Chain A
Amino acid sequence: MEFRKTLEAAGAIWQREFIRYWRDKTRIISTIVQPLMFLIIFGTGLKSTLARGNFGLDFVQFMFPGIIAMSIMSVSFFSTISTVWDREFGFLKEILVAPISRVSITVGKILGAVTIASIQGFLLLLLAPILKIRLHPLSFPYLISFMILVAFSLASLGLLIASLMKTTESFGLMMQLLIFPMFFISGAFFPLTNVPWWMKWLAAINPLSYGVDALRQILLQRQATGKALSLVSLHPVAINALFLLVFSVIIVMLAALAFNKKN
């Protein structure tokens, strides 16, 4: 009975996130256009100079998995921002006085962000044929699982930070300080196999680098030879999945704790 109620409440919070997302068309467009801009500008700009790689990959193709991960990251973070807004605009109070557990609020919020981010990632994935990336139908379940995993870990991180922040302004600043370094040191632009030790360290604690690494290996397996792919990859896919899973579980618990304490 209690479990059913928790689910119902989490479902309602999830539904609200989704309605808000669906209604905000500018947000949908901007979150699709922004990664495309990166792909087109950086992709074409760097193609000629940097990526004379011998691994049979186009630079745009190399960047594509990273762009998907980036899009998932920004949507996940952005969706969890709504907690700060809810606080500022009073709506959080409406949720907090309801006869529901704090856990259902945390779960609903995170699942809402995960759903939106995964849909966004999936939409980008549909561009693969245009970039001449051959996708095997069997790779879809893997790709989608990883997109969900990446979204889950980042949405939890976003909610954790949102729970620790007081104002929308400080949250925005924090996000800026996080998004770009996380994106740059994610392996989206350049392989992380041949970088200085400090960057390796940063990449090792960056959940996005695991996501990019896994997505690239799955997405490009029919594009590049196994040898070429292994040159730019950090870990086996299973290790990437394991890290993201452990990271998510720890962060989601911290987020639930922080949210509980703060409210």
Chain B
Amino acid sequence: MEVIKVKNLVKKYNGLTAVDHISFSVEKGEIFGFLGPNGAGKTTTINILSTLLAPTEGEVYVNGFNILTQKDRVRKSIGLVFQDPSLDDRLTAEENLYFHAKLYHVPHDDYQKRKEEVLRLVELWERRKDIVKTFSGGMKRRLEIARGLIHHPAVLFLDEPTLGLDPQTRSHLWEYILKLKAEKQMTIFMTTHYMNEAEYCDRLIIIDYGKIVGFDTPANLKKAVGGDIIILESPQPQQLKQELAQKYALEAKEENGTIIVEIGNGKTFLPRLFEELQTRVTSVSLREPTLDDVFLHLTGRKIRDEEATPLDWMRQHHFRRRR
């Protein structure tokens, strides 16, 4: 069953195309990821799917409801965790949930049961009477996830759920997200620009400049890179690149003086390479492809290059100030 269906979605802001003819559908019970650098159109897509933004073109259905004509039904069908915190930190954890349940018209008895269920799931039941201000960043995120689940949504949206959290808290948070999928068969739609987090997704869309450049399971995407990755360092990178092209018809990529080659079977290729190679090589390593390589393969650049944009820095900074 399709929980989300998107057909030819386009969003333009003053002539700038943020989302450019994308189509996909999300199946029930899967973790579906949107991976891309900042400004690729991830948050714009989530905002359209959650009815906060009207699309320029295209059709979108969430839980079978049209996002333009059945807004309230779409809204009841989704749980949202925003990129930036959206809790009232002067209320207690429980009050935040209560308020949410009221806004979503959850019947009182149902709320009482559901409250305990979701708070136990994110291990905040013991802290339910505490004011949110006293919570750590990770706890706030978990509470937001619990809140998003109170009204039994068909799909949970997580917009960069681990942004601004330290690595340890991040992996901890992922345990909860995976538990949610395993125990509740929750459908999750998430965006991220962290490669290692994208690995958790069942299926993944790689988005760049508003266009889908890759769409498959993480394993298949990595297969498409072409087997293994060989990284060579040389005092003469240009010469090395030329030699690889002439002798083996390999198209190598250069990154700060290191040469990166994608090759079908690296283990058998390496000994052959060193028998015949003329250019001096100072270091070599062989590894299996990561999603980083997939992104590089598909777009010709690394996602990391764009991570620390001023906007990102500001956001992080803002985060800290709020805590």
Task: Point out residues on A near B: beta carbons under 8 Å.
Answer: 5, 8-9, 11-12, 15-16, 19-20, 23-24, 89-91, 93-100
Q: Tell me, yes or no, whether B87 is within 8 Å of chain A by CB.
A: yes
Chain B residues near A100 (CB, 8 Å)? 103
CB <8 Å contact, A99 and B104: yes
- Could you say which of A8, A20, A89, A91 contacts B102, with CB atoms under 8 Å apart? A8
Task: Point out residues on B near A: beta carbons under 8 Å.
Answer: 50-52, 71-73, 75-76, 78, 80, 82, 84-91, 95, 99-100, 102-105, 322
CB <8 Å contact, B322 and A89: yes
- Could you say which of A20, A90, A97 contacts B91, with CB atoms under 8 Å apart? A20
CB <8 Å contact, A99 and B76: yes
Chain B residues near A93 (CB, 8 Å)? 52, 82, 86
| CA distance in complex: A67, B27 (Å) | 62
CB <8 Å contact, B87 and A12: no
| CA distance in complex: A94, B95 (Å) | 14
Chain A residues near B82 (CB, 8 Å)? 90, 93
| CA distance in complex: A104, B234 (Å) | 67
From A9, A89, A97, A98, name the one whose CB has the most chain B CB atoms within 10 angstroms.
A97
CB <8 Å contact, B72 and A89: no
Chain B residues near A19 (CB, 8 Å)? 90-91, 95
Query: What is the minimal beta-carbon distance from B231 to any residue of chain A, in angstroms?
Result: 42
Chain B residues near A96 (CB, 8 Å)? 52
- Could you say which of B80, B103, B322 contacts A9, with CB atoms under 8 Å apart? B103
CB <8 Å contact, B72 and A99: yes
Across the two chains, which residue of chain A brings its CB closest to B105?
A5
CB <8 Å contact, B95 and A98: no
| CA distance in complex: A100, B75 (Å) | 9
Chain B residues near A90 (CB, 8 Å)? 82, 84-87
| CA distance in complex: A20, B78 (Å) | 27
Query: What is the minimal beta-carbon distance from B36 to any residue of chain A, in angstroms?
Result: 22
Chain B residues near A91 (CB, 8 Å)? 86-88
Across the two chains, which residue of chain A brings its CB closest to B86?
A90
| CA distance in complex: A59, B281 (Å) | 95
- Could you say which of A24, A97, A98 contacts B90, with CB atoms under 8 Å apart? A24
- Could you say which of B75, B87, B95 contacts A99, with CB atoms under 8 Å apart? B75
| CA distance in complex: A91, B322 (Å) | 13
Query: What is the minimal beta-carbon distance from A23 to any residue of chain B, in angstroms?
Result: 6
Across the two chains, which residue of chain A brings its CB closest to B77?
A99
Across the two chains, which residue of chain B brings its CB closest to A16?
B99
Across the two chains, which residue of chain A brings its CB closest to B89?
A89
The 7 closest A-B pairs by CB, nearest first: A12-B102, A98-B103, A90-B86, A99-B72, A99-B75, A94-B86, A90-B84
7 contacts between A and B (CB under 8 A): A19-B90, A89-B85, A90-B87, A94-B87, A97-B50, A97-B75, A98-B104
Across the two chains, which residue of chain A brings its CB closest to B50?
A97
From B50, B72, B84, B86, name the one whose CB has the most chain A CB atoms within 10 angstroms.
B86
| CA distance in complex: A93, B86 (Å) | 7
Across the two chains, which residue of chain A brings its CB closest to B52?
A97
Chain B residues near A97 (CB, 8 Å)? 50-52, 75, 78, 80
| CA distance in complex: A98, B73 (Å) | 10
| CA distance in complex: A8, B100 (Å) | 12
Chain A residues near B105 (CB, 8 Å)? 5, 8-9, 99
From B75, B87, B95, B102, name the one whose CB has the most chain A CB atoms within 10 angstroms.
B102
Chain A residues near B76 (CB, 8 Å)? 99
Chain A residues near B73 (CB, 8 Å)? 99
